[in-house]
């Protein structure tokens, strides 16, 4: 992945007075597409899904703060360090997603009582949880892809302190889920990279002191 901060060796500088042209946009789009593909491949075993999401978020965190992507070695080291702590998170996220999907399907089909009001409440809860989960992923990125408990507590406080931002993150996560269902399957990995970047953009910058360096 290329750096936005410096031009490639031998190339003419692309930054003229801080302006960005179509080449910068195309390069960023390609980088995010590659990020999504790598994220999907790393998350394929399911148990590594949390580690993959956290490391991808850490890469976007570095990119948005410095203009450069982390090296392959640093990313591999982060992933190896995040796999085992991320297994319980992967299982929990998978279980919650399956239960909510089953509940929504049963309510929509009329197999359980509650009707439209219960369906609406369940959908609202699912949307809110999706936004919260998205913010947790953003927070984990600030810790290099780990420290899920700390990130979960920080995200919970942030959601309560800024409910409008929570709603915006919920909208991003829900839209990404709908697009994943509607687009061709081959485009889903690309969508994953854009979704992580969108979550970071909506969550907004955090002060440097909020994310202490990991050993």
pLDDT digits (tens, 9 = 90+) for 82-103: 999 999 999 999 999 999 888 8
pLDDT number for residue 184: 84
Confidence of residue 215 (pLDDT cuts 50, 70, 90): very low
Listed as own residue / partner, the contacts of 60-67 with beta carbons closer than 8 Å and 24 or more positions apart are 60/35, 60/141, 60/196, 60/197, 60/200, 61/138, 61/141, 61/142, 61/200, 61/211, 63/4, 63/31, 64/197, 64/200, 64/201, 64/205, 66/5, 67/3, 67/4, 67/5
Q: Distance (Å, rounded) from C-alpha 164 to C-alpha 38?
A: 31
Over the chain, what is the mean pLDDT?
84
pLDDT number for residue 1: 62
> Which range among 71-80, 109-118, 143-152 shows the weakest confidence by mean pLDDT?
109-118
pLDDT number for residue 16: 42
Q: Is the pLDDT of residue 119 over 90?
A: no
pLDDT number for residue 11: 44
pLDDT above 90 covers a percentage of the chain that reads 57
pTM of the entire predicted model: 0.81
Looking at per-residue pLDDT, the higher value among 15 and 190 belongs to: 190
Which residues lie across from 19 on neighbouring strands?
16
């Amino acid at each position: 992945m290329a750096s936005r901060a410096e031009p490639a060796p031998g190339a003419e500088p692309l930054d003229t007075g801080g302006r960005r042209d179509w080449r910068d946009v195309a390069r960023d789009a390609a980088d995010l597409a590659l990020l999504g593909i790598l994220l999907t491949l790393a998350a394929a075993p399911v148990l590594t899904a949390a580690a993959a999401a956290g490391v991808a978020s850490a890469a976007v965190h570095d990119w948005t703060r410095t203009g450069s992507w982390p090296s392959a070695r640093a990313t591999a080291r982060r992933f190896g360090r995040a796999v085992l702590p991320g297994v319980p998170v992967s299982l929990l996220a998978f279980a919650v997603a399956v239960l909510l999907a089953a509940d929504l399907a049963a309510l929509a089909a009329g197999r359980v009582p509650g009707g439209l009001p219960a369906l609406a409440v369940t959908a609202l809860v699912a949307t809110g949880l999706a936004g919260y989960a998205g913010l947790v992923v953003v927070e984990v990125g600030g810790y290099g892809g780990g420290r899920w408990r700390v990130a979960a507590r920080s995200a919970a406080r942030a959601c309560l302190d800024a409910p409008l931002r929570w709603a915006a993150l919920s909208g991003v996560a829900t839209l990404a889920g709908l697009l994943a269902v509607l687009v061709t399957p081959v485009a889903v990995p690309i969508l994953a990279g854009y979704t992580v970047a969108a979550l970071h953009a909506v969550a907004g910058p955090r002060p440097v002191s909020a994310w202490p360096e990991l050993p």
